[in-house]
Amino acid sequence: MQNFDLPTGVILGPQPVLATFSSAATRPPLHPSTKDLHPPTMVNIPKTRRTFCKGKTCKKHTPHKVTQYKKGKDSLAAQGKRRYDRKQSGYGGQTKPVFHKKAKTTKKVVLRLECTSCKTKHQVSLKRCKHFELGGDKKQRGQAINF
């Protein structure tokens, strides 16, 4: 260890860094906004996709026809529907709670893939998006925007 002769009145240690901002508008943000990270874009999926088929005959990559999953019509013969209708019948008004606190503004998109050779179907879910298009026009580089 070396000994240094210091002049009197000198204080060693961490020096405070002073940053002054004239207004809150020029102050840097504490964290990046999520809107800046992910600009709103439309999801465009082609109508055919070459992907792996799990069918017993294929078990290899084949072209698949892509469609969007759609919920089927509710069956009147389902046990829950029969029980609900039985409870609702007669006098007494609404018997079960009606849900009102909807939180999500979008749904997850589900793709239904059908193998063109063996007709086996499987489903793939995508992330949430506001706008979804199946087989739309591809964006061209350097193309002028037409309104």
Average pLDDT for the chain: 84
At residue 13, the pLDDT reads 64
Rounded Cα distance between 70 and 72, Å, is 6
| pTM score over 0.75 | no
Which CATH architecture is the domain 41-70+108-132 placed in?
Answer: Roll (3.10)
CA-nearest of 78, 46, 40, 64 to 118 is 64
Looking at residue 145, what DSSP letter applies?
Answer: P
Residue 79: is its pLDDT beyond 80? yes
Q: Distances in Å between the alpha carbon of 86 and those of 16, 65, 78, 134, 137?
A: 75, 42, 12, 42, 50
Given a contact cutoff of 8 angstroms between Cβ atoms, the answer to whether 116 and 62 are in contact is: yes
Which residue, chain included where needed, has tokens 């749904």? Answer: 107
CB-based contacts of 12: which residues, under 8 Å, 6+ apart? 6
Label residue 72 by pLDDT band (50, 70, 90).
Answer: very high
